[in-house]
């Protein structure tokens, strides 16, 4: 048993899409969330920059006495999951790509045509393809980066023609040409536009890594005897730029009455 919070981080608000499924599955757990809203998006940055930002945030979470770190960001998971594990030996650190790759490998067969959408860095890394093919070499996989999605979502431009046009710009040809039937939302921001995607392509089966990761979190907590029994802290959401947008999106994603919450601004530059 361990009542300390779980640390989550993402480049911005995308990682919040993991929190509701976690709260439903494990209501006694508390979280510390860090969204690097001042420096988002990560998905078009150099891997060395992503490594540096991620190490800073992980240091901050460790100083905050978390019992586990969840990398609620595909871009970071694809870039430096192993480095973070080496930096904090003994601390469980979970990436978001492995659980989703496993779900796809287990639930899809030779006849399926799998599409992955993500940031430039995630797609270029081929992390999804490599992991899925390790588990199931027969699957046919295609990938495309969609770099306008994250900035639009961070701006709250979602139920909107601009977002729909942007989705069509990347996906119309991709889905038709490759005959995609299963689509992995390979960026934690994308569950926020799932309704738009489903409206435009109702035939697709959607895989949402933000839900899949919760199974891995539970398994890891159980196997290390780290499940919380009596939480003694509240959920805290830090942002490197605590903008109105971040708070609005939190209010929009969660029914805030679901759990206690505190917002805090945190300037990473002061943490050296």
> At its nearest, how many Å lie between ligand DGL and the CB of residue 149?
9
Number of residue whose CB is nearest ligand DGL = 43
Q: How far apart, in whole angstroms, are the C-alpha atoms of residue 70 and residue 95?
A: 6
Q: Which is nearer to ligand DGL, 43 or 115 (CB)?
A: 43
The kind and range of the H/E element at 184 are strand 182-186
Using DSSP bridges, classify how beta strands 93-94 and 31-35 pair: parallel, antiparallel or unpaired: unpaired
Residue ranges binding ligand DGL (CB under 6 A): 10-12, 14, 40-43, 73-75, 119, 122, 150, 187-189
Widest CA span in the chain: 53
Residues 65/41, Cβ–Cβ less than 8 Å: no
Q: How far apart, in whole angstroms, are the C-alpha atoms of residue 15 and residue 34?
A: 9
Q: How far apart, in whole angstroms, are the C-alpha atoms of residue 213 and residue 28?
A: 17
> At its nearest, how many Å lie between ligand DGL and the CB of residue 223?
25
Q: Which is nearer to ligand DGL, 5 or 41 (CB)?
A: 41
> At its nearest, how many Å lie between ligand DGL and the CB of residue 170?
14
Q: Which is nearer to ligand DGL, 10 or 29 (CB)?
A: 10
Q: How far apart, in whole angstroms, are the C-alpha atoms of residue 47 and residue 77?
A: 11
Q: Which is nearer to ligand DGL, 21 or 41 (CB)?
A: 41
Hey, which residues are catalytic here? 73, 187
> At its nearest, how many Å lie between ligand DGL and the CB of residue 205?
20
């Amino acid at each position: 048993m361990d009542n300390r919070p779980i640390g989550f981080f993402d480049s911005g608000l995308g990682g919040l899409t993991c929190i509701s499924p976690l709260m439903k599955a494990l209501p006694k757990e508390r979280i510390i969330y860090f969204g690097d809203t001042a420096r988002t998006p990560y998905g078009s940055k150099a891997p060395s920059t992503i490594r540096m930002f991620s190490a800073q945030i992980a240091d901050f979470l460790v100083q905050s006495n978390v019992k586990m770190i969840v990398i609620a960001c595909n871009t970071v998971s694809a870039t430096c999951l192993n480095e973070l594990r080496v930096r904090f030996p003994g601390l469980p650190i979970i990436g978001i790509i492995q659980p989703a790759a496993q779900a796809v490998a287990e639930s899809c067969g030779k006849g399926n045509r799998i599409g992955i959408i993500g940031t430039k860095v995630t797609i270029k890394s081929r992390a999804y393809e490599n992991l899925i093919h390790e588990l199931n070499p027969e699957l046919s996989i295609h990938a495309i980066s969609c770099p306008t999605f994250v900035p639009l979502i961070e701006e709250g431009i979602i139920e909107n023609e601009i977002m729909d046009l942007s989705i069509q710009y990347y996906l119309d040809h991709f889905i038709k040409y490759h005959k995609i039937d299963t689509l992995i939302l390979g960026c934690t921001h994308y569950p926020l536009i799932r309704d738009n995607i489903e409206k435009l392509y109702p035939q697709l089966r959607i895989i949402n890594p933000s839900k899949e990761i919760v199974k891995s979190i539970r398994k890891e907590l159980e196997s290390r005897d780290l499940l919380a029994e009596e939480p003694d802290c509240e959920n805290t959401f830090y942002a490197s730029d605590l903008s109105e947008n971040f708070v609005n999106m939190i209010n929009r994603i969660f029914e805030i009455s679901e759990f206690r919450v505190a917002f805090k601004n945190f300037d990473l530059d002061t943490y050296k």
